[in-house]
Amino acid sequence: MGNSHTRQICQVIGCQYETLQYIEPELNNTQIDEMRRGAYYLIKFRNHAKLHLVTNHALFYSRRWVEYLEEMVHQKLTTFDAILVGKINTYLEAFKTSVMEIMKEKNSKLKDADFETIPPPTLVDFAALFHFSMDP
């Protein structure tokens, strides 16, 4: 989860291991040859591991981001083996950039998302979803 820099890191991970397929679920589970600037990709590896990559998505600017994210990936976040959380751009950080144009377009598809006024989740927000115990 994160911005385009996070997408670049995950693209490198995908290049390091043999994959079965790259899928862009928001385009009706279309198999693709390369990742472009989409917001959600699913990489299936030969060992049957899966990597869900969600970057620069409007759902991060909704107070219901957890619900939307779990619906998108068809899995509870707490059931993932690992979650990589990169920086998610705020409105001010994206001002007058290509990200701003993408968010304005995508925000129109989620009625309760507001890129300008709702801050995206932070690493602390993601960590709050998990219950940690210091007991052995």
Q: In the chain, what are the domain boundaries?
A: 4-127
pLDDT at 10: 73
**pTM: predicted TM-score of the whole model, two decimal places:** 0.78
pLDDT at 71: 92
Partners of 124 in the β-ladder: none
| CA nearest to 50, candidates 80, 70, 26, 27 | 80
pLDDT at 45: 85
Q: Are the beta carbons of 52 and 25 closer than 8 angstroms?
A: no
pLDDT at 134: 63
Those residues of the chain that have pLDDT short of 70 are: 14, 17-18, 27-37, 95-108, 132-136
